[in-house]
Structure 1
Amino acid sequence: MGDNRPVTLHLVIEAGSTAAPYEQLRAQISEQARSGALPVGYKLPTVRGLAEELGLAPNTVAKAYRALEGDGVIETRGRHGTFVAAAGAAAERRAASAAQAYAEEVRRLGLPRAAAASAVEEALRAVYGD
């Protein structure tokens, strides 16, 4: 039997954050979509509606939506709106492709495997903040 709980998009834009508002928006929607808090097919608010709700410029929301669409997290269906896409598999394919390209590049550069892995770990630490 399906889950009948209402789905709510929960977004908080922190003015004092070092992350730009569009990046905060992108990250929060992405996380909620990937965690299942926003199910596949969930209709997102319009750009103007969300901008108004969050007190952001419409261009800020549009930039986040474009980035999310590029990441395969959401899809725009013309006048029908913007929806959460089935992004899990697409994200994994893109990550695998990026990893393959990285591996080929570091091999061309002559870096040993340990140095290549160390570079990835450092980059992940910088991005994830741990």
Structure 2
Amino acid sequence: MSAGISVDLGSATPPYEQIRAQVSSLIAIGALAPGARLPTVRRLAADLGIAAGTVARAYRELEQSGLIETRRRNGTVVAGTQAALPRPEALATDAGTVTAAVDRYIAEGRKAGLDDAALLAVLRTRLGQGDG
């Protein structure tokens, strides 16, 4: 069980960063709910065919950002979605400003290894929260 996580060893993005970005995105879109258990470091590493230290680094960074937490008996679980995506400041009504923000969103998503479907899912989730 790799929780829908994959690694492209041919990518310029380091494997630990690919894992970190994918788990963060899965949390952001609600595919991993608070309290959901993640695979163990060893299990995910074996599933992906990579070193356990690579997965451990991704998990450490996710834990430092407050997205996951490690519990002695329960393993590694999703802490919540509050840190998954920064709350955007109110955008100006100027169409150019909004377009520039969308361009930045797409660029950041691409850097994180997200495809169009994942970017749209994050956007739909955020729109569905009724904050704006």
- Give yes or no for the alignment of 1:40 onto 2:27: no
Aligned AA (1:72): G
Q: Percent identity?
A: 46
Change (3 A) 1:90 1:12: closer
**Structure 1 counterpart of 2:46:** 52
The structure where helix makes up a greater share of residues is 1
User: Mind listing any 5+ residue stretches in structure 2 that lack a counterpart?
Assistant: 90-100, 112-132
The residue number in structure 1 matching 2:127 is none
User: Secondary structure of 2:7's partner?
Assistant: coil
Following superposition, the deviation at residue 128 of structure 1 comes to 4.1
8 Å contact from structure 2 (residues 34, 80) kept in 1: yes
Question: Residue 76 of structure 1 is aligned with which of 70, 76, 80?
Answer: 70
Larger Rg: 1
Q: Gaps (5+ residues) in structure 1?
A: 1-7, 100-120
Question: Offset of 1:31 from its aligned partner?
Answer: 0.2
For residues 87-127 of structure 1, give each alpha carbon's deviation from its aligned partner in whole angstroms, at most 9, with x where no partner exists: 3x2456xx57xx9xxxxxxxxxxxxxxxxxxxxx7987764
The answer to whether the 8 Å contact 2:16/2:55 transfers is: yes
Q: CA deviation at 1:69?
A: 0.6
> Which amino acid in 1 is paired with 2:74?
H
| Partner Cα distance (2:83, 2:26) in 1 | 16
C-alpha contact 2:28 2:84 (8 A) present in aligned 1:
no
**Residue type at the aligned position of 1:49:** R
- Output the amino acid matched with 2:54: T
Structure 2 residue 11 is matched with structure 1 residue 17: yes
Deviation of the 1:11 alpha carbon: 1.1
The alignment partner of 1:43 has SS state of coil
TM-score, with length taken from structure 2: 0.63
Compute the displacement of 1:79 (Å). 3.2
| Equivalence for 2:93 | none
